């Protein structure tokens, strides 16, 4: 597989689609560190053509020496381009057309587009193999953290048993700030939007889908399985309350939005993105603010943890240029770590058959016998209570009842939850989270 069709003068000629935060970060890094890059590769990485929505916008850098294409897809058809950088975003439309056109034209592609790859990555990876080019995406997962190279290359000699992490800096910032300030979700989200940590339309982040796109890629790299985003269990952080975070702390836990994929003893794979309670003593609990973390367990290396900034111009540009340097050096690896023909469908574990401990937050009417009704339902489903906290509200208001359980069959837990929610004493639906020991 040829990494690039190199120009005669040892220059790698690059076309860049998208001049937003990441695209301009790439241009800045290539300009500022060109000497370092030449020393490490023996080649010059030169951007020769660009495209963006607005041509005459002041971007703080002179772009007059670069060829301009109003249509990003036209970049892939230029004869003076070896590599195409797709920084447009979006899982369909222009981004997909650009990547496909570039690959068919025999040009390697570097992208930061995790949504595109999570949904269409299998087909694009096969297309890259068929056309003898590279499709690289280090910047699509955890920004500046070399998580993709870590799994695909650094840990390639290991059987990976587990990969998990904090994969969305927006959610981690919100949960950290809620814990530190005692404020609720809505107030902290508004602050994150003001600071630029959250988008004006934050659903992709706070509902867990951004992290799920990334976990889809990590799971494939870890286990040699086909990409299958649609089968991933996804839950976001909108229902997390300030009392949940405070009580979790009292119990020795911290709430994190975790993406996790684990190979079980029978060869099946458990995978999810959801808020969970992790022990405060765990290293993942100490990853705060906008930082991301990726942890992998291999059968020879044991545990490897990588922590860093998961977004922003600098970290993401660093990952993009890292892929460009691999191309310049002639490094050649299959997109997903193994040839597409060797990827196998993931055998997904049945969540109902797994045993889990959970945290339950019930808001119940203060009536005689209410607690007995709750205990009777849990007992009937063989769910043992590990701890119970009752928080009295003001007179006439519902009481908060917080229960943690020992491990029980998840099918039983879900059935018990449904019965609890149907009780007349419930003031609002039960809020439940998994306790994830790591």
| Sheet of strand 83-86: strand arrangement | 67-68, 44-51, 11-17, 83-86, 108-111, 135-136
Q: Which residues pair with 85 in a beta bridge?
A: 16, 110
User: Is 43 inside a domain boundary?
Assistant: yes
User: Is 213 inside a domain boundary?
Assistant: yes
Both 324 and 385 in one domain: the answer is no
Both 166 and 45 in one domain: the answer is no
Q: What is the mean pLDDT for each group of 10 consecutive residues in the chain (438 residues)?
A: 53 95 94 94 95 88 91 96 94 94 98 96 97 96 92 95 96 96 95 88 95 97 94 94 95 97 94 97 95 96 93 90 95 94 93 95 90 95 95 77 96 97 94 94
Both 282 and 359 in one domain: the answer is no
Both 136 and 173 in one domain: the answer is no
Both 51 and 93 in one domain: the answer is yes
Both 162 and 294 in one domain: the answer is yes
User: Is 286 inside a domain boundary?
Assistant: yes
pLDDT at 4: 56
User: Is 118 inside a domain boundary?
Assistant: yes
Report the CATH number that the domain containing residue 421 is assigned in CATH: 3.30.70.260
| Residues 86, 197 contacting (CB under 8 angstroms) | no
Q: Which residues pair with 47 in a beta bridge?
A: 14
User: Is 18 inside a domain boundary?
Assistant: yes
The total of structural domains in the chain comes to 3
Both 225 and 236 in one domain: the answer is yes
Which of 276, 309, 342 is a domain's end point?
Answer: 309
Both 329 and 304 in one domain: the answer is no
Tokens encoding 244: 């949940």
pLDDT at 143: 85
pLDDT at 1: 47
**H/E segment holding residue 104:** helix 94-104
- Half-sphere exposure of residue 13: CA atoms within 13 angstroms, side-chain side: 17
Instruction: Determine the structural domain holding residue 304 and report its residue range.
Output: 147-309
Report the CATH number that the domain containing residue 248 is assigned in CATH: 3.30.360.10
Secondary structure of residue 82 in the 3-state scheme: coil
Q: Which ranges of 107-196 does DSSP label H, i.e. alpha helix?
A: 114-130, 147-149, 169-181, 185-195
User: Is 104 inside a domain boundary?
Assistant: yes
pLDDT at 6: 42
Please report, for residues 95, 107, 117, 276, the alpha-carbon distance to residue 101 in angstroms, rounded to integers and kept in the order given: 10, 9, 15, 41
Which of 300, 334, 368 is a domain's end point?
Answer: 334
Which of 275, 301, 334 is a domain's end point?
Answer: 334
pLDDT at 393: 65
User: Is 340 inside a domain boundary?
Assistant: no
Both 156 and 296 in one domain: the answer is yes
**Active-site amino acid positions:** 214
User: Is 347 inside a domain boundary?
Assistant: no
pLDDT at 176: 97
Both 54 and 137 in one domain: the answer is yes
pLDDT at 3: 54
Report the CATH number that the domain containing residue 58 is assigned in CATH: 3.40.50.720
pLDDT at 7: 45
Both 220 and 140 in one domain: the answer is no
């Amino acid at each position: 597989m040829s990494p690039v069709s190199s120009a005669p003068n040892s220059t790698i000629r690059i076309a860049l689609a998208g001049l937003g935060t990441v695209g301009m970060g790439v241009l800045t890094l290539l300009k500022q560190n060109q000497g370092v890059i030449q020393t490490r590769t023996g080649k010059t990485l030169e951007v020769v053509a660009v495209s963006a929505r607005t041509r005459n916008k002041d971007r703080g850098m002179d772009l007059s020496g670069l060829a301009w294409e109003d249509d990003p897809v036209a970049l892939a058809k230029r004869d003076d381009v070896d590599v195409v950088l797709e920084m447009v975003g979006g899982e369909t439309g222009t981004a997909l057309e650009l990547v496909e056109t570039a690959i068919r034209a025999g040009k390697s592609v570097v992208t930061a587009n995790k949504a595109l790859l999570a949904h269409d990555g299998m087909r694009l990876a096969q297309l890259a193999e068929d056309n003898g080019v590279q499709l690289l995406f280090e910047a699509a997962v955890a920004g500046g953290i070399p998580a993709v190279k870590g799994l695909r290359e650094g840990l390639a000699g290991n059987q990976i048993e587990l990969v998990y992490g904090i994969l969305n800096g927006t959610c981690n910032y919100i949960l950290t700030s809620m814990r530190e300030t005692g404020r609720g979700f809505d107030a902290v989200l508004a602050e994150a939007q003001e600071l630029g940590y959250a988008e004006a339309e934050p659903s992709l982040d706070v509902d867990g889908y951004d992290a799920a796109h990334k976990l889809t890629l990590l799971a494939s790299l870890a286990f040699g399985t086909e990409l299958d985003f649609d089968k991933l269990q996804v839950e976001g952080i909108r229902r997390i309350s300030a009392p949940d975070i405070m009580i979790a702390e009292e119990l020795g836990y911290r709430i994190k939005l975790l993406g996790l994929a684990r190979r079980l003893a029978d060869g099946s794979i458990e995978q999810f993105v959801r808020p969970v309670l992790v022990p405060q003593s765990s290293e993942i609990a100490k990853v705060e603010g906008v930082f991301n973390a990726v942890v992998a367990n291999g059968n020879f290396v044991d545990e490897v943890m990588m922590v860093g900034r998961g977004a922003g111009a600098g970290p993401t540009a660093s990952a993009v240029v890292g892929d460009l340097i691999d191309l310049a050096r002639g490094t050649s690896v299959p997109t997903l770590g193994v040839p597409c023909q060797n990827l196998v469908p993931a055998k997904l574990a049945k969540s109902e058959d797994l045993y889990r401990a959970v945290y339950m937050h019930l808001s119940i009417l203060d009536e005689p016998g209410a607690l007995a009704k709750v205990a009777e339902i849990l007992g009937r489903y063989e769910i043992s209570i590990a701890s119970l906290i009752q928080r009295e509200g003001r007179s006439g208001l519902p009481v908060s009842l917080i229960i943690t359980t020992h491990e029980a069959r998840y099918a039983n837990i879900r059935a018990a939850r449904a019965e609890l929610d149907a009780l007349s004493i419930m003031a609002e639906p039960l809020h439940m989270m998994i306790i994830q020991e790591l």
